Amino acid sequence: MNASLQGDFKINGLSLRSFVNLSPLEAEEVRRWRNHPEIRRFMYNDREIDSIEHIQFIESLRESSHSGYWVVHEENRPLGTLSLTRFNPLHHHAFLGIYANPFDSTKGRGKRLMEALLALSFSHFGLHTLKLEVMEENERAITLYETMGFVREGCWRDYIFKEGRYRSILLMGILNETL
Ligand SMILES: CC(C)(COP(=O)(O)OP(=O)(O)OC[C@H]1O[C@@H](n2cnc3c(N)ncnc32)[C@H](O)[C@@H]1OP(=O)(O)O)[C@@H](O)C(=O)NCCC(=O)NCCS
């Protein structure tokens, strides 16, 4: 298993550039997406990220063997970002993260991003299973995950306290049936 999570990749006609290889301007663009209200509202940490925190986060990835983050482009069009965290080479699992570019409304970008992440996880990294956590009210993301073959594997009730009330978290997963 190749565990270099800080590499760049070309997958299904998409280019995946590691956060650690972005120019300062490109990194700033990613921060703009991450701070957009439509992205923040579905994140555990929903406060705005300032530029110092963002740079420190990217720096922290350089030596990481358990987290990788990528910006995805289709030709020159930025589709969004993908991540693998809690990457475990012993048990062949990881957790995914995804957000689409909130300034682009092309239909199907979620599916394109997910197809690339599944190919990266299963074909390149040789994972056996990919897991995720999603807020129960995030219907758009849940629809996407189910379309891609993820199934509901559990639920953490009232796990997150956000805007004055508790939110439950669905745990979903997909197996690489070829391994
Ligand atoms: C999740 C996300 C990446 C999906 O990307 P997207 O571009 O919206 O994805 P798509 O356009 O491919 O749509 C996904 C599916 O949801 C459906 N959908 C759209 N709006 C919906 C809604 N309000 N409720 C339910 N389903 C909805 C679409 O019709 C599509 O289903 P289909 O493929 O069966 O037609 C994107 O919405 C996003 O970045 N959300 C904010 C961050 C986030 O929630 N990340 C996930 C955290 S776990």
Which residues are near ligand 1 (CB < 6 Å)? 38-39, 42, 98-100, 107-111, 134, 138-141, 143-144, 147
Domain positions in the chain are: 9-175
Q: Could you identify the atom of ligand 1 that is nearest to the CA of residue 141? A: 1
Q: From 3.10.28.10, 3.40.630.30, 1.10.3720.10, 3.40.350.10, which CATH number describes the 9-175 domain?
A: 3.40.630.30
pLDDT on residue 177: 84
Q: Is the pLDDT of residue 2 over 50?
A: no
Residue ranges in 37-170 assigned as alpha helix (H): 37-40, 51-61, 109-119, 139-147
Inter-residue contact 167 to 160 (CB < 8 Å): yes
Q: State the pTM of this model.
A: 0.93
Q: Using CA positions, which residue lies closest to atom 6 of ligand 1?
A: 110
How far, in Å, is the centroid of ligand 1 from the Cα of 50?
26
DSSP class of 123: I
Q: pLDDT tens for residues 73-111? A: 999 999 999 999 999 999 999 999 999 999 998 889 999
